Structure 1
């Protein structure tokens, strides 16, 4: 479904030179597969999402979706950012209806579809509210509905829940798994939280310190459906965590040696 082959991405640096964010990165994601990507801060994980989405072209190598090279923003892409993309001047239902309207649906059809998704993300009764009237977790639910109402075949998520408190984050993780299940959407989920990566994903990809490439890929052999809070307490989860952390820890320590101290 998604393939990055021998991809390198360079950007102009502030000093007039060139910064290499990714180098010779190869990664594939199958239809219906949920892949979480972890790695040190600044290693280029978000850049990889930009390449898949078509927002940035690779400097070298190829990015393809369904066997076709990505030359612009492909159809069927859903993208959730760390910051909310809700429009403050629109109500909840009109925020969610924006995607169907853009695709050509009539106003009444778009709002009917949006109301259904507002219900599905647990915001029934808040259709007429505006973003400033909602909590952070509720705005994330709106953003999730905005994304999924378009029935994306590929879902790109860039630390979408990182700003939430622990309890709300757990609820949103469960909500995401419930709504994604059975859609056959391929997911790339970037996170700085290894526990979150394991609880959600079928596979966890560890990236090296920048310029990044794939260091290792780990299958997450935990049964679905999952309750993300309960699965964290199982011996199987802890065993997978220890295995992946051994690989990730080396890259984190390299980054700390450069003066950066957070996993991302």
Structure 2
């Protein structure tokens, strides 16, 4: 990592107008940094504002107060070099695997031949060689996630934003995709913010885990993950080092989960 962070949120607050005419504060006084080549996972209670954090970095939303800075410049619109992988697949059902992956380079001005060559390379990298002419409905959930990953990485982003991309997968497929992500990200130098509800997933993937408070969210605590790379996510889950980190972070996260549960109980009552 370099000394100057690639991503910086400074005292960022985001408010939305609610359907009832009131104001909902999603995140409040949010300050965080991500360095070049750093993998940061963000965990917190359901609905606390984790996804809003990604929206501020990506330029999809502007902060109501404070600022979002990417590569030393205040965010105004979508910054160059940002790749965004959503929870729902963004594959186009009427296009083949190859043409789905080639869409990004085509939008960025590549010729059809160049775009398809780059797409073919990434289709093979994510383990879908031989499936170039298949359509999304012919693929399993895990295979569609591989297409989505290739769609994102084919543009060689310097910043990778991931919003619970593997949450809909079964446990075995999720572990495979976590290993695949680490393999493809390694050596790219891309800064990653990975939002997840799964603390195990966060620890397996990240260099640092940020715990968010119950909404409106701010950063409660940051925990380094002292696990060597490269990582095999199934093996490291069984190590003493992993369990020690898990217990430490869970103690912080548990308080916020309980706070959110209590608020929900009071509203129902």
Partners of 1:223 and 1:211 lie apart in 2 by 34
Q: 1:157 aligns to what SS in structure 2?
A: strand
Residue 149 of structure 2 corresponds to residue 159 of structure 1? no
Question: Which residue of the other structure, out of 2, 17, 24, is the alignment partner of 2:22?
Answer: 17
- Asked if residue 222 in structure 1 is aligned to residue 266 in structure 2, the reply is no
1:35 paired residue number: 40
Matched residues, number: 260
- In structure 2, distance between residues paired with 1:84 and 1:168: 15
Residues 53-72 of structure 1 mapped to structure 2, 5 A cutoff: 53-72=58-77
State the TM-score, normalizing by the size of structure 2.
0.96
What whole-Å deviation, never above 9, does each CA across 1:192-230 have from its counterpart, x for those lacking one? Answer: 000000000000000000011000000000000000000
In the alignment, the residues of structure 2 paired with residue 54 and residue 7 of structure 1 have an alpha-carbon distance, to the nearest angstrom, of 13
Using the alignment, how far apart are the partners of 1:6 and 1:132 within structure 2? 44
C-alpha separation between the residues in 1 aligned to 2:117 and 2:77? 30
SS of corresponding position for 1:259: helix
The reply on whether 1:85 has 2:90 as its aligned counterpart is: yes
Q: Report the Cα offset of residue 66 of structure 1.
A: 1.1
User: In structure 2, how many angstroms separate the alpha carbons of the residues matched to 1:171 and 1:96?
Assistant: 20
Residue matched to 2:182:
177
Query: Which residue number corresponds to residue 117 of structure 1?
Result: 122
Within the candidate set 231, 238, 247, 2:243 is matched to: 238
C-alpha distance in structure 2 between counterparts of 1:45 and 1:221, whole Å = 24
Write the distance in 2 (CA, Å) between the matches of 1:147 and 1:118.
Answer: 11
Aligned to 2:140: 135
- Verify: 1:145 aligned to 2:150, yes or no: yes
Q: CA deviation at 1:259?
A: 1.9
Following the alignment from structure 2 to structure 1, what is the Cα–Cα distance between the partners of residues 22 and 108? 41
Q: Give RMSD over aligned pairs.
A: 0.6
How far does residue 161 in structure 1 lie from its aligned partner after superposition? Answer: 0.1
Unaligned runs of 5+ in 2: 1-5
Where 2:264 maps in the other structure, the secondary structure is coil
Which aligned segments of 4 or more residues in structure 1 are displaced greater than 3 angstroms? none
Following the alignment from structure 2 to structure 1, what is the Cα–Cα distance between the partners of residues 114 and 19?
A: 48
In structure 1, stretches of 5+ residues that fail to align are: none
Partner of 1:75: 80
1:181-260 maps to which residues of 2 (within 5 A)? 181-259=186-264
How many Å separate the matches in 1 of 2:139 and 2:46? 30
